[in-house]
Amino acid sequence: MAMQNRSDGDPSGRLLLIDRDQEQAQLVAHALAQCLDQAAAITVVSGGKRAAELLRDSEFDIILADLSSLGDLASHSDEAVLRLVRLADGALMVALSDGISVSAAVGAMRAGAHDYVAKPINGPIMAARIGELAQRHGKCRSLGIEGRIPAGPSDFAGFIGASSAMQFVYEQIGRIAASSAPVFITGESGTGKDVCAEALHAKGHRAGKRLVAINCAAIPRDLMESELFGVARGAFTGAHEDRKGAAELADGGTLFLDEIGEMDLSLQSKLLRFLQTGTLSRVGDGAVRRVDVRVICATNRNPMQLIAEKKFREDLFYRLHVLPIHLPPLRQRPSDIMVLARHFLTRYAAEEHKSFGDYSSEVASLLSAAEWKGNVRQLQNLVRRLVVMFDGGDITAAMLAAADIETRGLPTPAEIPSRGDRRAAILPMWQQEQRIIEDAIASFGGNVSLAAAALEISPSTIYRKRQGWAELSHTG
């Protein structure tokens, strides 16, 4: 059923929502219509066959497809998505699914979907993601949403940033914090995985108990078991008394295992047993103790690659990978860079009892153009050096150059003549390839077939490469 009556000649954008739960779909459509300021016509259908019929006869700018509602079009959701993408002729495809599944996301992206969102759908956040997609693929004007997307909170439980990518993270944290199921956080170094763990603990029902963090990469392997599970007096030289491990200390609360990918394989089997039984034994002690903790783990490595290399147990991964959260790198949310930079400037100026103004426009351009390989932590360190090294006033390019002693990674003014010409660093080959292919797809309005023809490659090659990018994006 169409939310709005539009003539075929109406230039306003059109959205197609596919969901067999019609009551819920109407609620989502109504919320989106409000957030998009009635700028787009929204059509709701219950299955893939009806959607395919509409796509053969009509043009749509955005397709929101619930993967579980496509069974009447194809036996596998990936095949159904691929059929819809081929019929869509340039429409932006967003896959929807109950729960948060990396495999579902990878499959949908491989089939040609531009994005993946877990249900239930939050209207304002979904509208923000649509707006970001539309801007990236040049559809803001056809959708009539330029400047209409509502802004979300710029700070949340220790995080700073109002980009749609961070809004999605906030929504995930708010949705799963109350659960006791394990959480698996992925993201590059410096993206705030420890902040995410603290937010999950603080917003859950275990907030009154302890959050105990243990860094699996910082503790020697021969001491890791006793640090995690505790030690009995006399178990080894120097063990003069019984000592609780991190798991016991976190009883009733949260155990955060940072850099879980660095844990020794022999200890991984004991961790798996602990997760399965909820019991542990201290090193050198046969007594079995029952412990109630919520386990949150994090890694900056690709867990699937670790499994392939026999460095991480597959059964442990699936025991931990119940509620995954991926933290996007700072380069994927450029609108947050200056928000973070000003936040850190205010914070450290107060700590150092100094008075600073703002960043000059030239400095703002330099910061926004940087790749930030160290992510938020790198930006944070740079701003702190600026505050320590100088006495106050506005931040100038000369001050920035003096403080950029860590990597000398910021571009010079000559290297950023325009917003679209940023050469902060030489990117890895796969990232350059991704930019070339995605730019070609954008040039043809999202039509993969035309982009493939222009690049002289097959569409299946693009879908295969997108699968690889999706795996990197969702697993870090």
Task: Write down the pLDDT at residue 236.
Answer: 65
Task: Write down the pLDDT at residue 459.
Answer: 66
Q: Count of CB atoms within 10 A of residue 232's CB?
A: 18
Q: Which value, in Å, is the radius of gyration of the alpha carbons in the chain? A: 25
Beta bridge partners of 161: none
CATH number (3.40.50.720, 3.40.50.300, 3.40.50.2300, 2.40.50.100) of 14-143 reads: 3.40.50.2300
pTM above 0.85, yes or no: no
Low-confidence ranges of the chain (pLDDT < 70): 1-13, 35-40, 99-106, 131-153, 234-240, 406-428, 442-447, 449-454, 456, 458-460, 467-468, 470-476
Burial classification of residue 71, based on how many CB atoms lie within 10 Å of its CB (0-12 exposed, 13-18 middle, 19 or more buried): middle
CATH 2.30.30.140, domain 331-415, yes or no: no
- Fold matches, 164-327 and 331-415: no
- Supply 309's token pair: 């290399």
Strands (E), 32-132: 41-45, 62-66, 92-98, 115-119
How many Cα neighbours within 13 Å face the side chain of 475?
22
Listed by start position, the domains of the chain span 14-143, 164-327, 331-415, 429-475
First to last CA, the chain: 40
CATH 3.30.43.10, domain 164-327, yes or no: no
Task: Write down the pLDDT at residue 78.
Answer: 83
Phi, psi of 93 (to 5 degrees): -105, 125
How many Cα neighbours within 13 Å face the side chain of 349?
17
Alpha-carbon gap, residue 412 to 261, rounded angstroms: 37
Helix count and strand count (H, E) for the chain: 20, 16
CB contact at 8 A, 327 and 191: yes
Task: Write down the pLDDT at residue 276.
Answer: 93
Residue 330's H or E segment, with its range, is none
- Supply 191's token pair: 């993206």
Give me the count of residues in the chain: 476
Residue 14's H or E segment, with its range, is strand 14-18
- Supply 206's token pair: 């275990």
- Supply 3's token pair: 């939310």
Task: Write down the pLDDT at residue 103.
Answer: 63
